[in-house]
Amino acid sequence: MNTIAISRLVGSEAGAIAKQVAETLGYDLVDKEILQGTLHQYGLTRFGELYTSPPNFLDLANSKNLEIISMLNDTMKALAYRGRTLILVRGGYVTLNGFDDVLNVRLDAPFKVRIDRVMAREGIENPSEAASRVAADDKARMKFVQRFYGQKWHDARDFDLVLNTDVISNSTAEAWIIEALRMQEARPPRSGFRLARDLNVDPLLLSSIEEALARRV
C-alpha cells in the first residue's frame, strides 16, 4: 500500500480531510505529535520549537538543528517505507518527492477563506487577530521549507495533486485523494523513480514510530 504525504496551510481543512482519508483507507495518520514522540525517544526534544517557529539563517549553522532535520527526514522515509501511512507534516513532500509509491498532495484555500475558518474553529471574534494568526503560521511553514529544504512553498511542481478546498468540499477532496492513490498504485513502475518500500531503514527507528503511534491510541 502506498503512502500519502499531505502539505497544507492552516485553515485549508487538511486536518479533517486527512483524518477521513486515513479512516477510510485504514491508514495510520502521522502528524507533528507522532513525529515529536518519535524524535523525543532519540533525545531531540527541541523539535517542537524548531517546527513551529520561523527559522532564521543562524538555524542553518546550528548543528543540533541540522541533526533534528536529518532525523526528521529519516523518520519520514521510514514512514513511507512502512506504507499504509498518511503523513501530515511540513517538509514531508520534499523528502519524499521522487518516490513512485508516495502520493504528494497539497491542500490550500484563499487567505480570506482560511481566516474565516480559523475564526469559526478557534472562537476568534477579531478578524485582525485571526489574520495575524494565519499569517504567522504561513510564515513559519514557508520559512521552514525554504530554510531547511531550499524549496519555494508555492511551487506546485513537486505535487501529484493540488486541491483548493474553497472550491471543492471535504468529501470531494477525500474521494479525489483516494482515487489518485488507487491510480498511482495501479500503474506499472516508472523508470528512473525509486520505491520507498525498497529503502534500507533502521529497525530501531521503525520500532520508535510504532511506539509513538501506540501511545496515541
For residue 215, what pLDDT is reported?
87
pLDDT at position 55 is 66
Q: Please give the pLDDT value at position 56.
A: 67
pLDDT at 104: 95
Domain covering 3-216 in this structure, CATH number: 3.40.50.300
Q: What is the pLDDT of residue 65?
A: 80
Kindly write down the DSSP assignment for every residue of the chain, as one continuous string.
--EEEEEE-TTSSHHHHHHHHHHHHTPEEE-HHHHHHHHHTTT-TTHHHHHHSPP-GGGGG-HHHHHHHHHHHHHHHHHHHH-SEEE--TTHHHHHTTBTTEEEEEEE--HHHHHHHHHHHHT---HHHHHHHHHHHHHHHHHHHHHHH---TT-GGG-SEEEETTTS-HHHHHHHHHHHHHHHHHSPPPTT-B-GGGS---HHHHHHHHHHHHHH-
Which residues of the chain are under the pLDDT cut of 50?
Answer: none
